[in-house]
Structure formats: C-alpha cells, structure tokens
C-alpha cells in the first residue's frame, strides 16, 4: 500500500475508428466520460489537433462544453489548448465562459506545439513561430485576463475575471519544465509518446519549482498508454490497433483506428523497432495483474502526483472496460 494518493485521469483525442462517423465518435466521447465519472477519474481532458481526418478533437473548447454538459462532477479540460494557435484573449473568454457555466469543473491545459503540420499551423496563424517563441508571455496574458485585478485595464476578458479555471503547463521537453516551475503551475508531461526527456523534466520541475498563488508544492502529471483486458493475450490483440496507428504516424499514412487483429510476428517486430519501442516505452498492456505491476513500478520511479491515461482502441466498449480496470488498479494502489 502506498502512503501517497495518486489521482488518475483520461486524455482523449476523440480518435475516429474505421466505419465510424464523426457523430459516432462524439457520442462515444461522452459515453466514455460518463463512465469515467462513475469510476472515480479526476478529470477528462481533450486534445487539440488539426487537419487529421482520424482525430476529431479540433474544436477543443466546444467538445469540453459538450462533455461538461453531459456529466455532473467530473473535471473537464484541455490537454491541451495549443496556445500559439490562438489569441490569449479569445481563449480566456472561451474558458471563462465555460468556467462560469460549469463552476469549479474546467481545466485549462496549455501547450506550445501546433498540434498539426507546418502548413496547417501557418494556415491557422501566419505568425505561429513568433507566437510559439512568445509562449511564456502568452501564458502571462491568460493569467492577467483571469485576474480580478484586470478589471481596470483597457483590454479585458470580462467573462474570465475572477473565474476559477486552473492553468496547467503541458510539455514534451525540458523547456516546459522550466516554465511550469518558474510560474508555480502544475505540469503535465506527454510521456505517452515523448519518452526521452521524462526523467530530466521531472527533476527540473521539482528542483526549480517556485510556490505561487495557484500552487504551493509541485504537482506532476505523467501521460501513460494503458490497454487492459481480461487476459494478457486479449490486451495484446487489442493493442494491434495502436501499433498500426503508430506505423501510420511514422509512414505519414494516417488512417482511422483499425479493428484489432491477432498479434503476429510482424507486429511484434514493429514493437521491437527502436523508434517504436522508444515511443511506446511507457505503455502498459496486459491483464489487470500485469498492468498493476507495471504501474506500481512506474509510480515508484516517478512519484507522479497523477497519471493521465491514454487508451487508443477501436471499440468503445473495450476502451470503457480498460478504463474501468485501470480505475480498479489505481484504487488498489492508493
């Protein structure tokens, strides 16, 4: 038994499965969130991606409202809003509005990547690179717009002033660790795909952390891939959809999430490829007992305050079952 309570949450990209419509996808997003609420998940975050036919989380703030409306107590937020794509004023207005409609339930996770390719990033905002370099200043602007003290400024996000919407810094490199520590904000690391800098980022964040009005002690969240089924063999079979998705990323041939197949030697070879192996390093796949041992080891190494689970599966019922079993694991470890 651990003496530390570790929260557990969900990150959803609203992936489109083969033979599913966008309407099916959004219906399943809400269905999963409603189950997550009953399983004790702390928060349900939605990512921001653009120009990807297999990812339906483009209008992130609208999806957050949809999920918040369909749930009662679950925190709902962005994992994250890619701030260089947006005006800080508009984001403050959107999330101030959400935070007023759904009080004390909305999170605003902020990242600096585009969530898309270069051409699309430039189509979203022609000065994207300049905005990305100005990310710390843009975060400052968000904080100013949410501040009650901004009520005498010439430029205001009036619907955001004084509204309780916690900010989180998201990252996949050590740059974000320095920023989160300097600003005294909670920090979420994308270790579900960007594994190389995880331990350096954790060390930097904890060493450099400065207490703030938002947070007195460091709060670190780690992204992990989770696929749990009743047996190891079934979990491996379900994971074939994830493997094919990763291959699509590396080859530039992104397709909708494919139905699972039997785990073949060819797919096992792909898993052993150094690039794929590194990318999926913090992927815990297996039965409940198998994954429990893996998660326990990861928590002992990272001392994470929260795990945010990513489960890319074809079938919504398999996803729901995996998240149910993960909740059981976390409750047992806590």
Report pLDDT digits (tens) over 174-199: 999 999 999 999 999 999 999 999 99
Q: How many CA atoms lie within 13 A of 68 on its CB side?
A: 24
Q: How is residue 140 written in tokens?
A: 């400052």
253 vs 298, higher pLDDT: 298
pLDDT at 189 (0 to 100): 98
Instruction: Indicate the pLDDT class of residue 30, thresholds 50, 70 and 90.
Output: very high
On the question of pLDDT at 2 being above 70, the answer is: no
User: Locate tokens 């890319």: which residue?
Assistant: 312
- pLDDT tens for each residue of 125-171: 888 888 889 999 999 999 999 999 999 999 999 999 999 999 999 99
Closest CA to 193 of 156, 128, 245, 236: 245
Detail the DSSP E strand segments found in 52-192. 75-82, 106-111, 167-171, 187-189
Q: How far apart are CA 144 and CA 293, in angstroms?
A: 44
On the question of pLDDT at 53 being above 70, the answer is: yes
- pLDDT tens for each residue of 102-117: 999 999 999 998 888 8
- pLDDT tens for each residue of 213-229: 999 999 999 999 999 99
Residues forming beta bridges with residue 43, ordered by sequence position: 75
User: Locate tokens 């007195």: which residue?
Assistant: 216
Would you say 250 and 275 are in contact if contact means Cβ atoms under 8 Å apart?
A: yes
Q: Is the peptide bond before 330 cis (omega within 30 degrees of 0)?
A: no
On the question of pLDDT at 1 being above 70, the answer is: no
Which residue ranges form the domains of the chain, and what is each CATH number?
Answer: 7-247+260-333 (3.20.20.30)
């Amino acid at each position: 038994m651990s003496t530390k309570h570790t929260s557990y949450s969900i990150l959803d990209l609203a992936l489109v499965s083969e033979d599913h419509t966008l309407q099916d996808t959004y219906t399943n997003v809400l269905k999963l969130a409603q189950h997550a609420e009953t399983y004790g998940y702390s928060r349900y975050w939605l990512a921001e991606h653009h120009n990807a036919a297999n990812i339906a989380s483009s209008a992130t703030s609208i999806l957050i409202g949809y999920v918040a409306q369909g749930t009662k107590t679950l925190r709902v937020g962005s994992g994250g809003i890619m701030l260089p794509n947006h005006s800080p004023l508009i984001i403050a207005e959107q999330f101030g509005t959400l935070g007023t409609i759904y009080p004390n339930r909305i999170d605003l996770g902020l990242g600096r990547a585009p969530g898309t390719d270069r051409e699309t990033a430039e189509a979203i905002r022609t000065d994207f690179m300049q905005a990305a370099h100005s990310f710390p200043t843009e975060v400052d602007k968000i904080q100013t717009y949410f501040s009650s003290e901004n009520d005498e400024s010439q430029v205001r996000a009036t619907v955001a002033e004084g509204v309780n919407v916690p900010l989180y810094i998201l990252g996949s490199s050590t740059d974000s660790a320095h920023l989160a520590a300097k600003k005294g904000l909670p920090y979420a690391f994308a270790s579900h795909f960007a594994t190389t800098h995880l331990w350096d980022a954790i060390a930097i964040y904890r060493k450099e952390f400065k207490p703030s009005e938002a947070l007195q002690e460091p709060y670190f969240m780690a992204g992990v891939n989770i696929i749990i089924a009743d047996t190891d063999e079934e979990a491996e079979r379900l994971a074939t959809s994830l493997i094919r998705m990763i291959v699509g990323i590396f080859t530039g041939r992104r397709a909708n999430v494919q139905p699972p197949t039997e785990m073949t030697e060819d797919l096992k070879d792909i898993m052993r490829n150094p690039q794929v192996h590194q990318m999926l390093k913090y992927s815990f796949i297996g039965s409940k007992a198998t994954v429990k041992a893996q998660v326990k080891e990861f928590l002992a190494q990272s001392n994470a305050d929260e795990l945010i689970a990513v489960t890319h599966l074809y079938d919504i019922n398999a996803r729901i079952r995996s998240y149910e079993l993960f909740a059981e694991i976390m409750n047992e470890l806590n």
